[in-house]
């Protein structure tokens, strides 16, 4: 939207806005993902783990979306990405995913992977658009009747 202020921020555990941001993200996650997929998690514990990170987006001060990731020495896993419904289809999911890929590329990481329900067409298209490829179909990954694709982006093959 013309004139909007879009800000991407990496959340740090000592940030003064920690509690506010984590609370808003927990509420967005609950609204976005069905109960059986949104496993109960303590954001505090997860994010204070130095291997985990979170980049969030604010639009005119409103929390519009986030992406969470977890890094090991040479690889990273994107564990969640969501954009609030009223901000979708405006390029923000693309911007969040590009931000985390850029972050990974700045480290020694050479592979980013994620799991996605094949029925989540917007997410599947977003990942494919940014170069992720389907590696494996994991039958019954989310529940007895819900599978997942593992998708990967390898930097050294680009």
Identify which range of 6-14, 53-61, 90-98, 139-147 contacts ligand COA by CB under 6 A: 90-98
Give the integer Cα–Cα distance in Å for 133 and 22.
Answer: 31
Q: Where are the alpha helices (DSSP H) in the chain?
A: 18-32, 43-48, 92-105, 121-129
Residue 94 makes contact with ligand COA by CB under 6 A: yes
**For residue 151, how many other CB atoms are within 10 A of its CB?**
21
Site for ligand COA in 22-51 (CB under 6 A): 32
> Using CB under 6 A, which of the segments 8-16, 46-54, 84-92, 101-109 binds ligand COA?
84-92
Cα separation, 134 vs 89, whole angstroms? 23
Q: How far is the CB of 59 from ligand COA (least distance, A)?
A: 11
Indicate whether 82 belongs to the interface with ligand COA (CB under 6 A).
yes
Distance of closest approach, residue 63 Cβ to ligand COA, in angstroms = 13
Q: First vs last Cα of the chain: how many Å apart?
A: 32
Two tokens, residue 93: 């999911």
Q: Which is nearer to ligand COA, 5 or 121 (CB)?
A: 121
Least distance CB 13 / ligand COA (angstroms): 24
- Specify the DSSP element, H or E, that contains 79: strand 75-83
Please report, as ranges, the residues that interact with ligand COA according to CB under 6 A: 32, 81-83, 88-94, 116, 120-123, 125-126, 129
């Amino acid at each position: 939207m013309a004139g909007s202020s879009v800000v991407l921020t990496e959340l740090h555990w000592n940030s003064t806005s920690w509690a506010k941001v984590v609370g808003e993200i927990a509420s967005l996650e609950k609204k976005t993902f069905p109960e059986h997929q949104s496993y109960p998690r303590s954001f505090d514990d997860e994010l204070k783990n130095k291997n985990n990170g979170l980049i969030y987006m604010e639009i005119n001060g409103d929390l519009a979306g986030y992406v969470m990731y977890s890094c090991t020495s040479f690889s990273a896993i994107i564990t969640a990405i969501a954009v609030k419904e009223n901000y979708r289809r405006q390029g923000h999911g693309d911007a969040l995913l590009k931000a985390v890929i850029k972050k990974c590329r700045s480290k020694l990481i050479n592979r980013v992977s994620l799991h996605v329900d094949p029925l989540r067409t917007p997410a599947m298209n977003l990942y494919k658009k940014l170069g992720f490829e389907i590696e494996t179909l994991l039958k019954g990954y989310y529940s007895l009747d819900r599978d997942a694709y593992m998708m990967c982006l390898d930097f050294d093959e680009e």
